[in-house]
Structure 1
Amino acid sequence: MPEPLVPTARPPAPRPTTPSPADPAWPAAVPERTAIQGGPDPLTVVWLAVDAGPSASDLDEAVARVEAVGYEGLQTPLSCQADAWEPLGVPGGQAFGVPLYFAGRADAERFVALWDGPVAAVVEGDVFCHFD
């Protein structure tokens, strides 16, 4: 008697891939720890979102989106880049944003061209923070 046909498992359908910084198309970012502790200056900072109010929902969304493509997503005080206040349209005070740090403008511009989310501003300048 012939052997019964046993269905074989199908390989799972390919999942759509999300670009990541490991992909050569995406530029490498400078880690925040390096950037804010006196790393190479000046840096070009891509601010993805800024929130000077009590709600951080835009910041949370920006963190999730940037982490989804493999970058470090952190909420950082704007005071870590003094040159950012004016281009971001924030008069001062307590404000936070979601930045990505790049060694040069070309890398920042390449990131912005690949990024399909909002960008608050791209700011060149020194970065430094001291957290107690």
Structure 2
Amino acid sequence: MWQLPNYVQYRLELQKQSKAQKELDKKRPAESRQSHESGEQQYYDMQDEELYEWKRLIQTRYYRNKADGLLVPMPGYEEEGMYEQVEWDRDSKQPRYLTDKGLRVVRSAIRDEQKHRREAVGYWFGIAVGLIGAMTGLVAAFK
């Protein structure tokens, strides 16, 4: 089955999450003793945390797909400070998402690989242009 490109899918999912975050922000309870005692503030905070985790899961999936396409290894789950885990009562699968530190590491590795690939293409492109220029010069010299 046909699937959207990774970046397009990423942007669409982020838009959905952003829209849900804006809707939740409109329902933010007032900072008062009553909202804390009634549990309204705690419920809002819980929903806000779930939306934050959803955003991080979207980002992690996007960078994992991008890293896989470039053959860049993702940090291991056992590496300290790279991942956080969704609590058991929110999701029975307990998915892990990259922390800020993990995102920096992955983005840096992806940028390095992309730079390496651009440099390799640039090297061969320079050789090809040089050869074409030399052949053009030879043809012009013999005419």
Task: Give TM class, smaller chain.
Answer: under 0.3
Instruction: Using CA pairs under 8 Å that are at least 6 residues apart, name the structure with larger relative contact order, 1 or 2.
Output: 1
TM-score relative to the length of structure 2? 0.21
Question: In proportion to residue count, which structure has more strand?
Answer: 1
More helix by share: 2
